[in-house]
Amino acid sequence: MSEWIIEVRDLNKYFGKHHVLKDINLRIRFGEVVAIIGASGSGKSTFLRCLNGLEPIQGGEIIVDGVAVNGKNTNLHKLRQSIGMIFQNFNLFPHMTVMENIVLAPQKVKKIPRKEAEAIALNLLSKVGLEDKAYSYPSQLSGGQKQRVAIARSLAMNPKVMMFDEPTSALDPETVNDVLDVMKELAREGMTMIVVTHEMGFAREVSNRVIYLDDGKIVEEGAPEEIFYRPKNPRTKAFLSKVINV
Amino acid sequence: MNFDISALYKAVPSLFWGATVTLRVTILSIVIGLVIGIVAGLARVWPNAFLRAISSAYIELVRGTPLLVQIFLVYFGLPALGLNLDPFVAGVIAMGINSGAYVGEIVRGGIESIAQGQMEAALSLGMTWWQAMYHVILPQAFVRILPPLGNEFIALLKDSSLVSTIAIAELTRTGQIIITRTFKSFEIWSGVALFYFVMTYAISRVVKYSEGRLRYSE
Ligand SMILES: Nc1ncnc2c1ncn2[C@@H]1O[C@H](COP(=O)(O)OP(=O)(O)O)[C@@H](O)[C@H]1O
Ligand SMILES: [Mg+2]
């Protein structure tokens, strides 16, 4: 097994004529926590969506866990089971209880028996602090609770890497920390994580590496203290001075 | 004004019989229309472009031509191809194919009204497109499809009066026949209208009731 869970080589992505990701090269180790920062519209979401094959790419190669995401014979459904994805607006299934949300994919995709899937779900719910919400509907939860359910739902598939796309930007300030705490705990347990975030404090504290994306290009990357305190690129400096008030 | 209530009263058994034929035509057309429409609606959003094109051509063609012409085409046109259909069968087939196009659009609209993020979340969990459709999208779409579907059923019931033109003795045709005998136009057409109204009202109540049963808060 290679030491890299994700390898991206010369990735290019267009929406029509619009060049959205430009010659991206990136490798991520098992167990690494990588934060991706950058202005809105710089291509962060698109990049994550390319990694799990939700977006087709026009150039380059993406290898996840040894499998070419865009390979002709790649079983994307199988590959996606090992890539958890958390969205800014949760995307919980509103017609299902929290429990049903969590057990659906393990049952239908992995064919795990209902009882077993429910036991796993309860376990994960207590991990995210929501065991008492198992039989609530998403509409009965706060934003922070929804996002923690979404994380539990993803974890139920036992992924090898978790991707988060601005997981706290749609939340009321008072519930942000509950979600960040769950994510910190995950990182402590050694989960490989890619986190698109505007929570610079979180990026600084938890990530091993920060990537600054600007207009579809990786302009700068490095350890958080490098990027945050000694950014080399003027564009990084300009961006950080806007988002951090130090 | 003279409204001969007794003429209407005498016509009730015949009109009632006509109404049962109308109901039979409508229900069979609804069933055919639902089957075709669900397939056509799913095909419109299917990842395969060829299926999308076929379904879209069917829907456009049917919606772009009058139902009456479609009924004539099936009843008077198909015999040219050696296919002689009984009027009832021809009427039901024409109406079913017609309704399928409208149901197809309703199904497509319902599916597309569900946020794209739902499909993406399901796919990201490793589900296939079909699993995502079946477990995540369709159950939500169904709740939104129901009201327009109810309207389509009601429209279909009313449009079924057009099959009177190919000699199916449904409600409208029954009314016409009684009038040629009795000349009581006003009374009989009032009765016919009342029968239609009772049936459409019943459908709308059933649809409302099931909507209430199905609603979940989003
Ligand atoms: N489905 C799409 N079709 C066309 N353009 C898109 C689509 N999704 C994103 N874009 C464009 O791609 C660029 C990058 O978007 P995105 O990845 O969402 O940026 P970020 O997540 O960093 O805010 C933006 O200019 C956006 O308008
Ligand atoms: Mg984004």
Residue A48 to chain B, least CA–CA distance (Å): 11
Tell me the three state secondary structure of residue A57: coil
In this predicted structure, the answer to whether residue B139 has a pLDDT above a threshold of 70 is yes
Closest CA to A188 of A52, A8, A33, A23: A33
Based on the number of CB atoms within 10 Å of its own CB, is B8 exposed (0-12), middle (13-18) or buried (19 or more)? buried
Over pLDDT 90: what percentage of chain B?
Answer: 90
Say what the pLDDT of residue B147 is: 92
β-strand pairing of A161-165 with A83-86: parallel
Structure tokens at A233: 């690129």
The answer to whether the CB atoms of B117 and A139 lie below 8 A apart is no
CA of A38, closest atom in ligand 1: 22
SS3 per-residue string spanning B141-153 = HHHHHHHHHHHHH
Ligand 1 contact via A42 beta carbon (within 6 Å)? yes
Contact A191, A211 (CB under 8 A): no
Closest CA to A161 of A84, A90, A95: A84
Q: Is the pLDDT of residue A244 over 80?
A: no
**Which pLDDT belongs to residue A1?**
62
Cα of A64 vs centre of ligand 2, distance in Å, is 21
Question: Which tens digits make up the pLDDT trace of A63-120?
Answer: 999 999 999 999 999 999 999 999 999 999 999 999 999 999 999 999 999 999 999 9
Atom of ligand 1 nearest to the CA of A165: 21
A80–B124 C-beta distance less than 8 A: yes
Better-predicted residue by pLDDT, B207 or A31: A31
pLDDT value of position B214: 75
pLDDT band at residue A246 using 50, 70 and 90 as cut-offs:
very low
Predicted TM-score (pTM) above 0.90 = no
Q: Which of A13, A15, A17 to mutate to test the pocket of ligand 1 (most atoms within 8 A of CB)?
A: A15
* Residue B136 near residue A101 (C-beta atoms within 8 A): no
Checking if the pLDDT of A56 tops 90, the result is: yes
Q: Confidence class of residue B196 from pLDDT cuts 50, 70 and 90?
A: very high
When mean pLDDT is compared across A172-176, A185-189, A238-242, B210-214, the lowest value belongs to: B210-214
Distance (Å) of CA A234 to CA A28, A204, A216, A228, A242: 25, 19, 16, 12, 12
What are the pLDDT digits (tens) for B152-162?
999 999 999 99
Q: Does residue A245 have a pLDDT over 60?
A: no
Does residue B126 belong to the interface with chain A, where contact is any CB pair within 8 Å? Answer: yes
**pLDDT band per the 50, 70, 90 thresholds, residue B74:** very high
CA pair distance A126, A103, nearest whole angstrom: 15
What is the residue-averaged pLDDT of chain A? Answer: 95
Enumerate the β-bridge partners of residue B42: none
The finding on whether A40 has its CB within 6 A of some atom of ligand 1 is yes
Q: Residue whose CA is closest, atom 10 of ligand 1?
A: A15
Mean pLDDT, all residues of chain B? 94
Is residue B25 predicted with pLDDT exceeding 60?
Answer: yes
Q: How do residues B101-120 score in pLDDT, each as one tens digit?
A: 999 999 999 999 999 999 99
Q: Has residue B55 got a pLDDT over 70?
A: yes
Distance CA A29, CA A49 (A): 19
Tell me the nearest-neighbour CA distance from A45 into chain B, angstroms: 13
pLDDT above 90 as % of chain A:
95
Which amino acid, one-letter code, is at A217? Answer: K
Is B11-217 in CATH node 3.40.50.720?
Answer: no
Residue A26 bridge partners (DSSP) = A8
Q: What is the average per-residue pLDDT within B29-50? A: 95
